[in-house]
Each structure stands twice: as C-alpha cells, then as structure tokens.
Amino acid sequence: MSITRRDFMKSTVAASAAAAVGIPISQIAKAEVAEAEKDWQWDKAVCRFCGVGCGIMCATKDGRIVATKGDPDAPVNRGLNCIKGYFNGKILYGKDRLTQPLMRMTDGKFDKQGKFAPVTWDQAFDEMEKQFRRAHGELGPAGVSIIGSGQYTVQEGYVAAKFMKAGVRSNNIDPNARHCMASAVAAFIQTFGIDEPSGNYDDIEYTDTAVLWGANMAECHPILWSRITDRKLSHPDMKLVNLSTFGNMSSSVADLEIIFKPNTDLAIQNYIAREIVHRDAVNWDFVNKHCVFATGPYDIGYGMRNTDKFAHDAEKDIQAKENAVVLDEAEAVAQRRKAGETVEQKNAGGAGKHWQISYDDFKTAVEPYTLDFVAELSKGDPDESLDDFKVKLKQLADWFIDDQRKLVSFWTMGFNQHQRGTWVNEQCYMNHLLLGKQAQPGNGAFSLTGQPSACGTAREVGTFAHRLPADMVVANPKHRERSEKLWKLPAKTINPKVGSHIVKIMRDLEDGNIKFAWVQVNNPFQATANANHWIEAARKSDNFIVCSDPYPTVSAKVADLILPSAMIFEKWGAYGNAERRTQMWREQVPPPGQARSDVWQVLEFSKRFTVKDFWGEQKLPGLKADGFEDGKLPDVIAAARDMGYSPDDNMYKVLFATPANTKVAWPDPVAKGHDNHTVVALGENWFPEKALFEEYAEFGRGHEHDLAPFDVYYRDDVRGLKWPVVDGKETPWRFNGEYDPYVPKGEKFAFYGKALKAIPKGNLDGVTDPNKTAHTDKAKIFFRPYAAPVEQPDKNYDLWYCTGRVLEHWHTGTMTRRVPELHRAVPTATLFMHPADAQSRNMQRKDVVWIESRRGKIKAVLETQGRDRMPKGYVFLPFFDEGVFANKIALDATCPISKETDYKKCAVKVYKA
Amino acid sequence: MGGAVAPPMQRNMTDKSRRDFLQKSAQGMAVAATGGLIWSFLVRQEAKANPAAIRPPGALVEADFNATCIKCGQCVRACPYDTLDLATAGQDIPIGTPYFFPRDIPCYMCPDIPCKVACPTGALRADLSDIADSRMGLAVIDMENCLSWQGLRCEVCHRECPLRDKAIGIETHPRQISKHAMFVPIVHSDACTGCGICEKACPTEKAAIRVVPAELVQGKIGEHYRLGWKIDTPITQEFKPADDRPAAQDDAAPGEAPGLDYLNEGSF
C-alpha cells in the first residue's frame, strides 16, 4: 500500500464524516492497491476465534490465503481485529498440519496399543465402522457418542446432530459448549422459556452503566471491550464495574473494581435484591405485568460422581460431598438453616425443578443478605479494608437502583463455569427484572458467549444431549413429533431419553458405558477438568476414540484414529455470534492433502449404515417415557417402509441426500466461482451446505428463530443478520414490542418463550400445590441462595486455583500456538500469584513450581508481576498450553442444573520444583 | 504430552555447550589481544564501539563499562536463559564484552540477578539490588507500525511487560471512524528497564517496539521548565526573600548600561 500519512489523515477524517451519515467506510478509504496485489481476490468471512463474531475479509491467490483484514463494514468491529484475529490468515499453515488419516497400527492392522501410521480414508472408515458397530451392538445407541463443538459451523453441527438423533437414535452428542455456555442456556430457558440474549451489542452505546460479573472482556472479548471503552470515553457519566476474583486487565478502565471470594457473587446479587426491596425500588408496573417469583431446591449436589468407585484416595473427601454436605456458618445464614447441619443432597437428580413463590416469600429469602453479612462473606482481597469494600458494594447497588441510569450486566465464564452457574445467571435476571431494566436498548442482562458459534450452532442447532433444533428438547413428545415430521422420520424414531453431556461422556468412557467417541472440532482431552481420569479411560479401556482435527492435539494423541479436517476458510460455513448474528462465508482455499470438511466426514460415514442397522428395536437402559416400553426404543422399520424407505436404504440417502436436498444444485450462482471440496469429494451435484441449512432453518421459521434464506447472507451488502429475521428485517431487541415482531401487538413486553412456563405453587421450603399454572409471556424472578464451593483451600491445599484464557491464545492453543508470532508473544502458561504468597513459600518469580491438587500435579513457571494481579491466597493459570496441563488438576464439579464444569475454583498447593 | 511447539523456556533447561564455545573463543581473543597486531585491531574495534549495544543489567555507562569489563564471560555463564552473548570479531561491539539482542532472547529479569552476582569487576554494578532498577535500554514504539496504535486490540507488549502499567502503560483514545476506542501503549522511561520482553513478544513481522540505549532516543526538557500538570507545586504561602540578593547596580559606569549599544547604534 502506498498511502502517505497525510492521505491517511484525510481518509480518517472523511471516513469519520462518512460514518456519521451512514456511508460504508470501505467506500471512503480507497487506498491505492499495489501492483503485486492486483490479482488478489477478496471475499467476506468471519473471524475463527471468539464469540464476538468480528467480520473479516480474506484475500486469496493461487489457492492460499495471502492476507486478511478486519471488515470495515462489519458493524461488530468496523475493520478492527484483536491480535488473534490479526492472524486468521496464518492458522491454516502450521508446519504439522494433518493431511491424511492416521491410525494406531501394528503389522498393518489396527491395534489400540499400536503406533499411528497413515491410512487411506477407506481404511479409516472401515475400521471406524467396525468399531462403531461393535460398540453399538454391545451397548445400543447409548454406547456411541460424538463430542461436538461451539466452533462447528451451523451445517457441521446440524449433520452431526441429525446423524446421531435421527439416524443412530442416540442423544449422546454434546459439545464443548457445555463447558462454556450451558449455565447461561439453563438460566435463559428457566427464566424466559427461550435461549439467547434479548439485547445486542448496540446496548453498549445506549447504556450508561456496564457491570462485568466474571467476564475479563479486555482479554476475552477484545473488540467489544473497545466499544465499552469508547462509550466510557465519549459519555462522561458512563460507569464501569469489574467484579472478579482477581485483578484482571478489565480493571484498568473500570470505575469500580470489586474483588470477591469464589462463589460469593451469589451473595452479592442477593444483597442488591435486598437493597431493591428495602429501598422500595421494585418496578411494580413491570414486575406485575411481566414476571412471577420462583425458587427451587437447595440440596442439589455439585455435579460430581455420586460414587467413589473411580475416585483416587485423595479425591474421596470432596467426592463424598456429592451426597451430603455440612453447612458452614455463612451458608446457614444464607439458607436460613443451622450451621453444622448435615444436608443430604437429595435433589441432585432433580436440580432443575422449580415452583412459584409469593413476593413475601422472596422478601423473606433475601432478608439475610445485609451489607454487613455479604461484605464480610464476599471480600476477596485480604489487604482491602472491610469498610472500603462495603462502600463499593453500596455504590454498586446505588448504580443498579438509580432509575435514571441504564445498566447492562455482562458475564461469561465467571458465572457460567460455576457450581451454581444456573443460579447465578438467574440472579442476574432477578435484579434486572425487579428493576424493569431488561430487553430495552441499554438495559439488560447480557450473557456474552465464548465460542464463535456456541450460539449459532451448539445452541440454535441443538448439538446438546437434551436438545433438538430451535430450542426444542428430546424429552418433549410434541418437539419429537415436530422434528420427526420435518425430518420425515417414523413416529418414535427419536430417542426421548436425554443423552450423556460432555463430562458424562468422559465418565461413561471410564465406566465402560460408552465405547465409541468421535471428537469433532474440539480438544476435549485437554479441555475437560480432571483430565488424568479421562486420558487413562480412553487409553486403557476397550473403546475406540476418533479425533477429527487439522492438527495433532492432545485429543488426537489420545485417540485411536485421527481424521484430517478442513479448516474454516477451506469450507463453506456459517457461524452465529453472541448477539444472534448469523454470518456466512464461502470456501476460500482448498484443504491441504486429503483433509476434508467435517460435513463430508459425517456424510461419508453415514453411507455405511442402513435403516435396518438403527431403526429396529434398540435397548436403551434407563429409558422411561410415555408411549415407550421401559428400556427400549421401538422397531420403526415397518413404519419406515410405509413412508417409502427400504430397510437397506443407507443413512446418507435417508438423512442427507433426500429428494428435496438433492434438488438444491451445485454449482450455484451464489458461489461466484468459489469451489466446494465437499461436493467434489462426495462426487455429487447437490449443495449440502445450502440444502441442509435451508432444511434446518425450517425448524425455526415461524417459531421465534427465523433465519433468512441462505443466499441473503452472501449478498455483498449483508454483514450477518440478527435472528429472528422476519419479513427481511432483523430483530435488535427481543421481547420488546417496539422491535420484536413476536411480541403481541399493543404489548410493551412479552417474554414469550414457551419452555417451562407451567410451574406448581409453593413456598421457600417446597411445593405446596402441585397443580401447574402456565405463566404465558412472563419471565421468572428466581430466588437462589448463596452456597459454599464444594472444594475450598484447607491446611494442605491452601490456595484457590482458577483457570482461564489470555488474549493471545484461543482455547487449548491448537491453532494460535502454531502461529509463530503468537507463540513467541506468549510461549507458555505461567502461574500468577501474589508476591507475598511466593515469598512465604520461598519462591520467586520465574521459579519453576509444582502446582498440586487432589487430582494430580503439574509444573509451571511462577509469575508475580505483569498481566494479572492476584489477591493473597489465589492463583491463576491459563489453560492454552498443553505443556502446562492446567485441566489435569482442575476439579470436575459442575452446576447440577446445567452440567457445566466449574473451572474457576478448587484448591491447590504450590511449591518449588 | 509433548507437542509440536517448543517447550517453555525454563531456567534449568538451558543448553550450556553453545555458550561455553562462544565464551571460550571470545576469551581466546582477549588473551591473544596482548599481542601487537591483534591489540591494535581490538583498540580500533573499541574506538568504533556501537553505542546501540544492549548490556546486561547494572552495566556501567558504556565507556566505563568497556574500561571495567574484563571479558571473562562469567555473566554469560550465569544467565539461566542464554540471553547474553560475548561479542565476536565483526560485530560493532567491543570483542569479548557481553550484550544481548532482545528480539532473540530478552532479559527475563531474574530477581536474584545472577549475571551481576557473577561479575568480578563491578562492570555490572554490585550495588544493583532490585532488578527493576536496572536500565539496560529503553523501549521505543514505532507508532506507524504498532498494531495497537492503528486501533487493533493487540497490546501484547503491555500485557507481557513484567512492570505492566509502570514501564508500559495504555492510553485510551476514541477512534474517529467507529465506536471503538484505541488502546495505545506508551513507554514510561522512569520504569522501563530495557529488558526487551516487549520486543521479543511483539507480534508484528519486524518488532514495532524495540529496546535501544536510552541516550540514543531520549530527549530532555529544559531545567527551567516544569510540566504543570505533572508536578504539583502549590503557591508558596510564606515567601522568604533570598539572603544573598544581587546588589543593585547603582554604581554602573556611565556609558556601560546594558542595551545602549543596540539603542544607540545603527539606523532604522
């Protein structure tokens, strides 16, 4: 680019003026293109990394990505990227990119104890089919599984889910998004009856208060952080609060930094609620019209195993708490019980049930959460004075309650990866709903997402063990019926029993209840807490693990068969970000060697199974559902024959290459000359990504989840659209009559989600009237109490341990660590600790130290300065680095409702190596 | 699990052999330097010493350092990170003296400063007790090529700086063309040690932040001026006249009053 500094200044001013009147920036900044770049071809795409969903542009030449840029017209990022996004063009070109299937072999045959050797796709699928049939034959549909992803494209998630749920009749498909968003999902469903946020990113520019609850946006949502910071710079009264368990990068711009003890966010939320009640600040107009009060059981366990059969000795004391807990002083006050009381965790299996309570009950419940009680309980920095901390809590409550002040709460993993993740999400809605600060521009509780398509794929497509597309669930007979109709399946094909969530898939591998697992677009053996157990289970048991990945990851190393996958710009796809924006891209470059898209892998594998393989009677231990014989899925082959299927029809034809889908022809003008290696590899002339998207979209159209036609997303003037897209218009704020076509005419608000609307009546102790009342169009204001973390520092393991991200690396680092510049910038994960804690252990920064928990020990380099500022008694370790395996020592406790792992709190000791 | 990427650099994982070799060859040069021809060669080298050499922590000012360093290589041997090298012939650095290139391996700022401890002559000041007080150089930012200065959310240098917010801070500015703020890194010379971790970490193709000797780049404002918003010096409430006031110039000789030359000479 030859552009002088003065030209740049001029174009900046011009662009600024243009932006003010709504002209696309790209039309203003017309820099002179160098001769060498004249044959570069640019196309729009999406950033591969986080849930923000920045638009990018890709330049290709001779089948390679030669450059990328932030898309100046993308409303999310306006041409900017973070330092990961800056390297989108390089993630494809790591030196150890996998280009052919690799299988563990001895003497030319598969051997679980053998060494990896290259095989053909046919050999790979032959062994995979054999092993799948073995597990399926022995254990039925519950014995096979897919570990999916919040980084699946929409189409990848859809084909994987349809293959499992409609074909195999197994609900054992669950994404890594379980580790990421499940608590947010459970709270959305319980509170609103429908998933995903009501607002959008423009809330940032409309609000005057942003409260971060366990969201280090400065590092984990970098471009949104630019918007929040800009709001702060340009709006003098904008206030920013950072609630965290340690001083992170987001504190730098904050007006108020509140460092609290793990799990006490539950208490802080109730303190705010109590203040709202005591200051008579409830917005009764809003609450009476649009809300009901509710609560649920407290004795719900911690999502751990309820048996010590597999626990190592050191793990047994914590595991025992899954069954019974002795209440500590604070819990006793918070739950109006007696300290020292032993509470059997009787509702561990029914953690999600809830019932309506009265406002008086709600008032009684929040009454113990006084400023004195909550401040004493929650102050997280031993060096801060209690009085200073109280002033901060009070300031937070003041800003919440100020009726002149708009307020947005943002959160991610601090709330979601939480032993009471669903509760703490619901508490956030509690305060926003009490104040009527929800579903309006600048007002709302906004759950940020972690992964690029956790919303668009994992949640909307429903690649979870309990879900179907468009917020439907397998346990609901009407949802199964509608899905069977759309999928043209015989009645009772879909399995009504919720499958194994991702943590349970790991436990099932250990138990021998699952013997086939196919890992797609994620790295679960590095990312799942208490990893030693699962790696051992995978390697030592009689199971078969397939790992589809572009790179040799920890999970690939653990697997028996590795399938080389195409990466983002090597295939057609769609992602949906945190503000319900669906964005699509074309295949830009071909995948290397024999690497293939995940869509192709599932479609090709499905050709190997027929109707009679899956649709006969199947054993399903534990199945109990209306209309089903206990423990069995019925034979539907006869019904299938009536629908025109032959028992010998293969699943590819039944599920994917249907008559309707094969009419969607490839080539298609929307491609504008771009290739589709999936079609070529299939040897077909239909367009799977388009046909399957349209098929999937039918689930949501007219059902509050409307997506636009496929081709619309590829228009040059479209930069993604926020669903529901009704009559060609996106929906910026849901549940708000001014913006949302699904709100009945004349209504200001309607929380119209349909799930879990009918609930029984009760009080704080339980259900008093089991008859259910439907609260149509209403949201629930939940009371949820403080509960102590199941594992806390003690004399032996004397430090809190927390894992998380850094800006420079994505998740387990499998892509970003292969970008030399990012690897150089942050080559290894270091353990952050308070300098006084290091000193008292005779350690200093840069020492190599052991970090040991009940579950194992790992080595890391100690850091007491720099990026994170730890309070005494608390350490933080990023999880991107497989050389410093953070999740080996993390505890696999989960929220009992959402089943999402709490990666943010367990106990460790640290000593010099 | 061994990965495809290099293992983390750890202080007990260094390979000494390369360093030993370099060190011996440099020592050999120093010993040989007692001979005539090579001696003069070395003197010439010293005379042309590159003022851009980045020295280990606690190094005396360049001239004193070159005079005091006996080129023994003890500091190189003591460094657990392989950061230091001894200059060899052909480099613009006096042969045998220690230096480092931060883009290759920066100084990781060991709290116990083993290089300084190993120095037998005080070329690396023995009284340096806190590594944060060392001044190996000063980081400077090329604003035109720094991604953060363009608005991208990079700021790797800031997050990786061991003295974050002290040596490298972030200033936020509105970006004129959209609703995003810019986060621009600013180096503070009062705290920057010149360790070069920022230069090593900078993800641009050529580092947009580099460590150079402070005297090459650092300006200085006049002693006669103070930045009013930076130093709070309130109006003195009880003014004390100076004891030693200049005498009044009543006795100036006629014709010697300042300014007369200008006033009286020349024409309009």
Give yes or no for a contact between A550 and A567, defined as CB atoms under 8 angstroms apart: yes
pTM of the model: 0.91
Q: Do residues A52 and A160 share a domain?
A: no
User: Mind listing the pLDDT tens digit for each residue in A515-553?
Assistant: 999 999 999 999 999 999 999 999 998 999 999 999 999
Q: Do residues A513 and A596 share a domain?
A: yes
For residue A529, give the nearest of A420, A419, A425 by alpha carbon.
A419
Q: Is residue A344 part of a domain?
A: no
User: Mind listing the pLDDT tens digit for each residue in A260-300?
Assistant: 999 999 999 999 999 999 999 999 999 999 999 999 999 99
Structure tokens at A258: 């509140």
CA distance A249 to chain B (A): 8
Q: Do residues A509 and A621 share a domain?
A: yes
Q: Is residue A524 part of a domain?
A: yes
DSSP codes, A844-889: -TT-EEEEEETTEEEEEEEE-SSS-BPPTTEEEEES--TTS-GGGT
A802 among known catalytic residues: no
How would residue A769 be classed by pLDDT, with cut points 50, 70 and 90? very high
By three-state DSSP, how is residue A911 classified? Answer: strand
Q: What is the per-residue pLDDT for B51?
A: 66
Q: What are phi and psi of A161, to 5 degrees?
A: -65, -40
Question: Residues of B with CB below 8 A from A252's CB?
Answer: 165, 170
How would residue B32 be classed by pLDDT, with cut points 50, 70 and 90? very low
How would residue B27 be classed by pLDDT, with cut points 50, 70 and 90? very low
| ipTM reported for the complex, 2 dp | 0.88
Q: Do residues A423 and A374 share a domain?
A: yes
Question: Residues of A with CB below 8 A from B154's CB?
Answer: 82-83, 86
How would residue B23 be classed by pLDDT, with cut points 50, 70 and 90? very low
User: Mind listing the pLDDT tens digit for each residue in A885-906?
Assistant: 999 999 999 999 999 999 999 9
Give the mean pLDDT of B141-151.
96
Token pair 């290259």: residue: A118
A90 touches chain B (CB under 8 A): no
Q: Do residues A371 and A443 share a domain?
A: yes
Q: What is the per-residue pLDDT for B17?
A: 45
How would residue B232 be classed by pLDDT, with cut points 50, 70 and 90? confident
Flag whether pLDDT at B46 surpasses 70: no
Interface touch A867/B164, C-beta < 8 Å: yes
User: Mind listing the pLDDT tens digit for each residue in A749-763?
Assistant: 999 999 999 999 999
Give yes or no for a contact between A327 and A335, defined as CB atoms under 8 angstroms apart: yes
Token pair 């509608």: residue: A482
Q: Do residues A684 and A670 share a domain?
A: yes
A839 touches chain B (CB under 8 A): no
By three-state DSSP, how is residue A729 classified? Answer: strand
Among A62, A93, A124, give the residue marking a domain's end: A93
A220 among known catalytic residues: no
Q: What is the per-residue pLDDT for A696?
A: 98
Q: Which of A84, A492, A515, A780 is catalytic?
A: A84
Give the mean pLDDT of B107-117.
96
> How far apart (Å, rounded) are the C-alpha atoms in residues A133 and A660?
29
DSSP codes, A129-183: HHHHHHHHHHHGGGGEEEEE-TTS-HHHHHHHHHIIIIII----EEEGGGGTTHH
The count of residues in chain B is 268
Question: Residues of A with CB below 8 A from B111's CB?
Answer: 844-846
**Residue A26: which domain range?**
1-32
CA distance B23 to chain A (A): 25
- Looking at the partner chain, which of A82, A829, A885 has a beta carbon nearest the beta carbon of B152? A82
Q: How much of chain A, in percent, has pLDDT values that exceed 90? A: 95
Q: Is residue A324 part of a domain?
A: no
Give yes or no for a contact between A577 and A52, defined as CB atoms under 8 angstroms apart: yes
> How far apart (Å, rounded) are the C-alpha atoms in residues A764 and A766?
6
Q: Is residue A738 part of a domain?
A: no
How would residue B33 be classed by pLDDT, with cut points 50, 70 and 90? very low
DSSP codes, A637-684: HHHHHHTT--TT-BHIIIIIS-HHHHTSBSS-GGGTT---HHHHHHT-
By three-state DSSP, how is residue A401 classified? Answer: helix
Interface touch A80/B4, C-beta < 8 Å: no
Which domains are present in chain B? Answer: 16-133 (no CATH), 138-216 (3.30.70.20)
Q: What is the largest CA-CA distance in chain A?
A: 78
- Looking at the partner chain, which of A81, A813, A848 has a beta carbon nearest the beta carbon of B12? A848
B233 touches chain A (CB under 8 A): no
Q: Which of A269, A345, A438, A451 is catalytic?
A: A451
Q: What are phi and psi of A359, to 5 degrees?
A: -65, -35
Q: What is the per-residue pLDDT for A25?
A: 63
Flag whether pLDDT at A7 surpasses 90: no
Q: Do residues A141 and A260 share a domain?
A: no
Question: Residues of B with CB below 8 A from A55's CB?
Answer: none
Q: What angle do CA A113, A116, A118 make, to 5 degrees?
A: 140
For residue A718, give the nearest of A24, A20, A18, A16 by alpha carbon.
A24
Structure tokens at B94: 């006096």
Flag whether pLDDT at A838 surpasses 50: yes
Give the mean pLDDT of A617-638.
97
CA distance A742 to chain B (A): 30
Give the mean pLDDT of B17-41.
43
Provide the b/e sequence for A534-571 (b: ≥16 CB within 10 Å).
bbebbbebebbbbbbbbbbbbbbbbbbbbbbbbbbbbb
Q: What is the per-residue pLDDT for B42?
A: 46
Q: Do residues A148 and A192 share a domain?
A: no
Structure tokens at B11: 């202080």
User: Mind listing the pLDDT tens digit for each residue in A547-589?
Assistant: 999 999 999 999 999 999 999 999 999 999 999 999 999 999 9
List Cβ neighbours of A108 (8 Å cut-off, separation of 6 or more): none
Q: Is residue A740 part of a domain?
A: no
DSSP codes, A802-854: EEE--TTS-TTSTTGGGSHHHHHHS-S-EEE--HHHHHHTT--TT-EEEEEET
Interface touch A827/B8, C-beta < 8 Å: yes
Give the mean pLDDT of B103-132.
96
How would residue B246 be classed by pLDDT, with cut points 50, 70 and 90? low
Q: What is the per-residue pLDDT for A448?
A: 96
B153 touches chain A (CB under 8 A): yes
CA distance A226 to chain B (A): 5
Flag whether pLDDT at A713 surpasses 80: yes
How would residue B257 be classed by pLDDT, with cut points 50, 70 and 90? confident
User: Mind listing the pLDDT tens digit for each residue in A820-829?
Assistant: 999 999 999 9
- Looking at the partner chain, which of A87, A230, A813 has a beta carbon nearest the beta carbon of B175? A230
Q: Do residues A170 and A205 share a domain?
A: no
User: Mind listing the pLDDT tens digit for each residue in A23-74?
Assistant: 666 665 555 566 778 899 999 999 999 999 999 999 999 999 999 999 999 9
For residue A795, count other CB atoms closer than 10 A to its CB.
6
Q: What is the per-residue pLDDT for B261?
A: 85
Q: Is residue A734 part of a domain?
A: no
Q: What is the per-residue pLDDT for B7?
A: 38
Flag whether pLDDT at B15 surpasses 50: no
List Cβ neighbours of B219 (8 Å cut-off, separation of 6 or more): none
Q: Do residues A514 and A592 share a domain?
A: yes
CATH number at A570 reads 3.40.50.740
Structure tokens at A285: 């107009």
Pairing of strands A906-912, A799-804: antiparallel
CATH number at A817 reads 2.40.40.20
For residue A654, give the nearest of A153, A137, A167 by alpha carbon.
A167
Report the mean per-residue pLDDT for chain A. Answer: 96
Flag whether pLDDT at A652 surpasses 50: yes
How would residue B250 be classed by pLDDT, with cut points 50, 70 and 90? low
> How far apart (Å, rounded) are the C-alpha atoms in residues A715 and A669?
12
Flag whether pLDDT at B29 surpasses 70: no
Q: What is the per-residue pLDDT for B21?
A: 42
Q: What is the per-residue pLDDT for B89?
A: 87
B46 CB burial (10 A radius; 0-12, 13-18, 19+): middle
Q: Which of A180, A249, A815, A843 is catalytic?
A: A180
> How far apart (Å, rounded) are the C-alpha atoms in residues A16 and A13?
5
User: Mind listing the pLDDT tens digit for each residue in A234-256?
Assistant: 999 999 999 999 999 999 999 99
For residue A250, give the nearest of A209, A220, A224, A216 by alpha carbon.
A216
Q: How many domains does chain A have?
A: 5
Residue A156, amino acid: E
Q: Is residue A771 part of a domain?
A: yes
CA distance A140 to chain B (A): 33
The count of residues in chain A is 913
How would residue A6 be classed by pLDDT, with cut points 50, 70 and 90? low
Give the mean pLDDT of A355-383.
98
Interface touch B3/A822, C-beta < 8 Å: no
Q: Is residue A905 part of a domain?
A: yes
Flag whether pLDDT at A477 surpasses 80: yes
CATH number at A87 reads 3.30.200.210
Report the mean per-residue pLDDT for chain B. Answer: 82
Q: Do residues A420 and A471 share a domain?
A: no
> How far apart (Å, rounded) are the C-alpha atoms in residues A344 and A604?
49
Q: What is the per-residue pLDDT for B43?
A: 45
Q: What is the per-residue pLDDT for A758?
A: 97
> How far apart (Å, rounded) are the C-alpha atoms in residues A819 and B205?
12
A815 among known catalytic residues: no
Token pair 């020990």: residue: A857
Q: Do residues A27 and A38 share a domain?
A: no
For residue A53, give the nearest of A568, A449, A517, A633 by alpha carbon.
A449
List Cβ neighbours of A285 (8 Å cut-off, separation of 6 or more): A436
- Looking at the partner chain, which of B3, B110, B181 has a beta carbon nearest the beta carbon of A226? B181
Question: Residues of A with CB below 8 A from B202's CB?
Answer: 825
